[in-house]
Structure 1
Amino acid sequence: MNLHENMVAGVIFDLDGTLMSSELDFTLIKAQIGCPAELDLLSFIAQLPSPYMREEAMNIVHQHELIDAQHATLLPGVAQAVARLKQQALPMAIVTRNYDRAAALKLKNNPLPIQTVLTRSDAPAKPDPSALNAIATLWEMEQQHVLYVGDYLYDIQAAHNANMRACLYAPSDIPAYANQADYIVKHFSELPGLINQLNEKQLLSQSSHSTAL
C-alpha cells in the first residue's frame, strides 16, 4: 500500500466509554475481589497466588461485565461517524479490555459494521500493543497509518506502544493525561472530519513536494 507517511488508512476503536456506554463500577469490583484501588484490576488478578483464586476473581468480573453488556447503548454520534468512515472504505476494528462474551453481547444488541473485534480473551489487555499490532498485520498496513480511538490512558499507551497515533475521545472533562494523545475529540461527529483533514493535509504536502521536484 503506497501511502504518504502520515495518512490515516485504518481506525481501531476501544469499546467501553468510546463506542458504547459502560456503567462498570470498578470501585465495587475491586472491593469485592480485594484489589487495592490504585492497582489495575486485571494485573492484580493475574498475580493472585493460585489458579482457583484467579478463576474466582475473574468470575466476579465476568458477572459485572455481562450485566453491564445487557444495558449498553451506542454513544451519541457513533453510528453516524462509523457509517461515514465505512463509506470512505476505511477498515475498522475494535480492541477492548472486555472479555469475549460481554463484547459480543454489546455488539449483538448494538450492531455496527465492524467485523474485527479483539478482546482480552484473544490477546493481552491494553496497554499491551499485541492486539493492535495483530490488526495492522491483518490489514497489511504499517502501524503509522492506523489511528487508535479510545477514552482512557491505557488506550493512548497501547497506541503509542504499537507505534500508532492515539485519538482521545473526551466528551466531558479533559483528563490530565490528555496531553499524551495526538488528537482529542469531544464528540464523535468530529472524528471523520479529523481523519479527512489529516489525509488532505498529507495529500497537499505530497502534491506541493512533487511540484517542487
Structure 2
Amino acid sequence: MTTQVEAIFGVIFDLDGTLVSSELDFALIKAQIGCPCEQDLLDYIAQLPSPYMREEAMNIVHQHELIDAQHASILPGVSEAIHALKSKNIPMAIVTRNFDKAAAIKLQNNPLPISTVLTRSDAPAKPDPSALNAIATLWNINARNLLYVGDYLYDIQAAHNANMRACLYAPESTPAYADQADYVLHDFVELVTLVESYSEKIELC
C-alpha cells in the first residue's frame, strides 16, 4: 500500500537555471577574486582572512549577479507548470544561492505566483539545508512530503540534507551526478505529471 510519506504536498524550486535563465560566468568571477576553479565560490569568500577582503570579493559577486538579473527570462514550460501546480493548491517556494536584490529583480521582471523566496541573504547557501528546513516548518509539512527542484548538484545535496526528495532539471544534457537525484526532468512540464502521479496514488489508497 502506498504510504502518506510518498505524497508530494509541496514543491520548492531553485531559481537560476531552473525557473529563469542565468548567464553568470563563474570561471570569470572566480578569476577576478582569486578563487581556485575547483573551490566553491561562497566558501572561498567566507574563508578570506579579513572582513575587508570578504567585502571586496562579495561586491564583485554582487555586481555580476545584478547584471545577470537584468537579463534573466523565464525558462520554457515554467510558467505553465507553475500555474498548473497553483491551480491544484500545491504550496510553492523558491530557495536560491542568489543574494536578495538579484533574486528580487529576476522575479520582478519575471513574475511568478510564488510569494515565499529565501536567498543566501536569509539563510546559509545550499547545500546547507537551513532554508529548506525553514520552509518545511513554515508550511508545517513533513520534509519527506516535499520536493526540491533544481539544476545542479548543490540542489540535490540540499534536498537530501533536508530529508526531502530531489528532482534534477536537466533540459539539455544529463550530468554525471544525475543518478544522485530521486527524479530527473528533461522538460519542465513533466513536473506537473510527477506531482499529479503522487497525489493520485494517495487518493487511490
Alpha-carbon distance between aligned partners in 1 of 2:201 and 2:45, rounded to the nearest angstrom: 45
Alpha-carbon distance between aligned partners in 1 of 2:171 and 2:47, rounded to the nearest angstrom: 34
Flag structure 2 segments of 5+ consecutive residues without an equivalent.
none
Alignment of 1:14-93 (within 5 A): 14-93=14-93
CA radius of gyration, larger in: 1
Pairing 1:128–2:112 present: no
Q: Does the 8 A contact of 1:92 with 1:114 survive in 2? A: yes
The alpha carbon displacement at 1:202 in A equals 3.5
Alpha-carbon distance between aligned partners in 2 of 1:84 and 1:203, rounded to the nearest angstrom: 19
Q: Structure 1 length normalisation: TM-score? A: 0.94
**Deviation readout 1:48-98 (Å, 9 max, x if unpaired):** 000000000000000000000000000000000000000000000000000
Alignment of 1:192-211 (within 5 A): 192-204=192-204, 206=205
Pairing 1:146–2:142 present: no
Q: Which amino acid aligns with 1:117?
A: V
SS of the counterpart of 2:201? helix
Alpha-carbon distance between aligned partners in 2 of 1:196 and 1:80, rounded to the nearest angstrom: 15
**Deviation readout 1:107-130 (Å, 9 max, x if unpaired):** 000000000000000000000000
Pairing 1:13–2:38 present: no
Q: Structure 2 length normalisation: TM-score? A: 0.98
Alpha-carbon distance between aligned partners in 1 of 2:187 and 2:23, rounded to the nearest angstrom: 19
Flag structure 1 segments of 5+ consecutive residues without an equivalent.
207-213
Alpha-carbon distance between aligned partners in 1 of 2:74 and 2:41, rounded to the nearest angstrom: 25
**Deviation readout 1:129-150 (Å, 9 max, x if unpaired):** 0000000000011100100000
The alpha carbon displacement at 1:197 in A equals 1.0
The aligned residue for residue 178 of structure 2 is 178
Q: Does the 8 A contact of 1:148 with 1:167 survive in 2? A: yes
Q: Which amino acid aligns with 1:68?
A: D
Alpha-carbon distance between aligned partners in 2 of 1:199 and 1:159, rounded to the nearest angstrom: 20
Alpha-carbon distance between aligned partners in 2 of 1:78 and 1:89, rounded to the nearest angstrom: 17
Q: Which amino acid aligns with 1:186?
A: H
SS of the counterpart of 1:120? coil
Alpha-carbon distance between aligned partners in 1 of 2:13 and 2:127, rounded to the nearest angstrom: 14
Q: Does the 8 A contact of 1:4 with 1:203 survive in 2? A: no
Alpha-carbon distance between aligned partners in 1 of 2:181 and 2:139, rounded to the nearest angstrom: 23
The alpha carbon displacement at 1:194 in A equals 0.8
Runs of 4+ with deviation above 6 angstroms:
none
Q: Which amino acid aligns with 2:198?
A: L
Alpha-carbon distance between aligned partners in 1 of 2:124 and 2:26, rounded to the nearest angstrom: 19
Alpha-carbon distance between aligned partners in 1 of 2:157 and 2:171, rounded to the nearest angstrom: 19
The aligned residue for residue 162 of structure 2 is 162
Alpha-carbon distance between aligned partners in 2 of 1:165 and 1:118, rounded to the nearest angstrom: 19
Q: Does the 8 A contact of 1:127 with 1:161 survive in 2? A: yes
The aligned residue for residue 118 of structure 1 is 118
Q: How many residues align?
A: 203
